[in-house]
Chains A and B, each alone.
Chain A
Amino acid sequence: MLLQFFSGVCMTTFAFSGLFFLKFYRRTRQRFFLHFAITCSLLAAERIPLIFIDAGLEVNSPVYLFRLAAFAILLKAIWDTNKRRPPTVPC
Chain B
Amino acid sequence: MCFHFRERQLLIELSELIVIASVNNALLLVIKSLLRDSEFLGDRNVATPRSSQFNEAFFDFKVSHTGQTVTRPAIGIRGDFSHSAPKLLLWSSLCFLGLALNNIVLYLDLSVFSQVEINGAVWRSALGAISGATLLYGLIWELN
Contacts and interface: CB of A to CB of B under 8 A. Distances in A.
Interface of A: 2-3, 6-7, 9-10, 12-14, 16-17, 20, 24, 27-32, 36, 40, 43, 49, 52-53, 55, 57-62, 64-65, 67-68, 71-72, 74-75, 78, 80-85, 87-88, 90
B115 interface: no
B139 A81 contact: no
Given A14-B132, A60-B11, A64-B14, A85 B1 contact: no
A54 B38 CA distance: 45
Grouping DSSP codes into helix (H, G, I), strand (E, B) and loop, the B interface class, with mixed when no group exceeds half, is: helix
B132 A68 contact: no
Nearest to B109: A59
A2 B28 CA distance: 32
Interface residues of B, number: 52
Interface in B9-50: 11, 14-15, 17-18, 21-22, 24-25, 28-29, 32, 39-43, 46, 50
